[in-house]
Amino acid sequence: MLEIALRNLAIVLLVAGGLHLLLFTFARQGDETRFDARPLARKSKVFHFGNQLRDNIFWTLCGSVPIGSLWECLLLWAYANGHATLISFAQEPIWFIGLMLLIPIWSGFHFYWYHRLGHVEPFYRWFHSWHHKNINTGPWSGHAMHPVEHLVLYSDLAIYFLLASHPIHVIFNAMLHTVAGPTSHCGYHRVRLTRFFSLQLGGFMHQLHHRYFDCNYGSYETPWDKLFGSFHDGTAAGDAAIKARRRRLFEKKNQAASPLDQ
């Protein structure tokens, strides 16, 4: 268990820490491709320790890393003790590969619905509001959330109690959260590694969610935002669609709260 926790710690330090050093500490590309040019908050009562970076690092290292590692250890224990069905590539090559392809879809499905629920009261006030203190995000913001939300974030791993699978499926699924959190919140659309090579990391779709709050609950891999009218593409038309949706929800709420005069 300690080896797994140390491995996950090393990955987070490398990805989140490396991106922060590159983009914020050394500012290797300045504000080029940055979503929000404002500095991360330093003297703010909104954040624990009065500092956004310290708050984000603490809840990532003391919440996300141990809780994500515990989920992984729980599944490995289940394989070893017959509580989850273990298969190998040699036994089920088609299912083995097929499940790998389905994992991003499943993870995106789970993320959308748990995230949408997190915006419902009282869950937002109790838990998810911790994450939304980060309007202007950095690499450490991806896992800066209430420990209960860390528990739920990695809970999509529970499906492997039901599906025949292999530890590589569990690790891949877990890494989608562990790595995607820092990369999707890095605050930059593209990260330039060399003069000729850059990576598209920051999620513009999710950046809009942090800015507008009530849109883009899911990920690019799943169509739920478009299906349920919560998708914002960053254009003026998308802005108008979200405002129209807000008006409809507000009117519906008012109608439910007060009886009809008829």
pLDDT one-digit tens code per residue, 233-258: 888 887 787 777 777 766 776 766 55
pLDDT over 80 (residue 104): yes
pLDDT-based confidence at 207, cuts 50/70/90?
confident
> Quick one: tokens of 190?
């593209």
Whose tokens are 């499906």? That residue is: 159
pLDDT over 50 (residue 262): no
How many other CB atoms sit within 10 Å of the CB of residue 182? Answer: 28
Q: Which of 207, 167, 153 is nearest to 183 (CA)?
A: 207
Q: Which pLDDT score is estimated for 140?
A: 97
The residue type found at 67 is I
86 phi and psi, to 5 degrees? -95, 130
Q: Which pLDDT score is estimated for 240?
A: 80
Q: Which pLDDT score is estimated for 13?
A: 98
